[in-house]
Amino acid sequence: MIKKLLPVILALVGTGAGVGAGLMLMPEKTETALAVECVPTGDGMHHTAEEVPEPVDDGLPPEGREFVKMSNQFVVPIMSSERVTGLVVASLSIEINSGGTELVYAREPKLRDVFLQVMFDHANIGGFDGAFTAGERMDILRSALLDAARSVLGKDVSEVLITEIARQDA
């Protein structure tokens, strides 16, 4: 008898635990922003309110900016005890003021050099070990890449985007 009830009990406990975890991890509801407009009327001001939609990130650069994709991927060796233990392959794009595409491509050899140096340094301090895509580690790498891009292209660069990244362990 107990042998027949055990799978049912386990199924109920598992379902309950799943529902409980789902409820606890559910994202919080966000409040809708309201735009309030004051409209003059004959007897004073009349206030109207309307919903303002949340801004949507459509992947397009802000007005007056453009994305420039670096033409080739970057391959960075991961070293350990004087031998290569893996490779990191990354693709980068640069967000720059509109009209800056030609400048990026004209200075691409220098950009690739400084980007590779940043990524080699990142690899040498263990930046690509373990959970290398963790937010803090990626922020450190993006910041260093942005500084390197600005050293070559100036203040027209607003972001360096890591569009693809993968690690292959040997």
Determine the pLDDT at residue 110.
96
pLDDT at residue number 139: 92
Give the pLDDT score at 65.
86
Q: Residue 143: which of 159, 129, 125 has the closest Cα?
A: 159
What confidence score (pLDDT) does residue 51 get?
A: 55
Within a domain: residue 49?
no
Region at 126 (left for phi over 0; alpha for psi -120 to 50; beta for the rest): left
> Is residue 15 domain-resident?
no
**Residue 129 lies inside a defined structural domain of this protein:** yes
**pLDDT averaged per 10 residues in sequence order, the chain, 170 residues:** 71 69 64 52 54 55 82 91 90 92 93 95 90 88 95 93 90
Q: Is residue 12 assigned to a domain?
A: no
Structural domains in the chain (count): 1
Domain interval for residue 142: 65-169
Residue 77 maps to a domain: yes
Query: Is residue 57 assigned to a domain?
Result: no
Identify whether 154 is part of a domain.
yes
The CATH number for 77's domain is: 3.30.479
Report yes or no on 111 lying in a domain. Answer: yes
Q: What is the reported pLDDT for 40?
A: 58
**Would you state the structure tokens that stand for residue 107, as one six-digit string?**
């200075």
Query: Which residue reads 């031998």 in tokens?
Result: 83
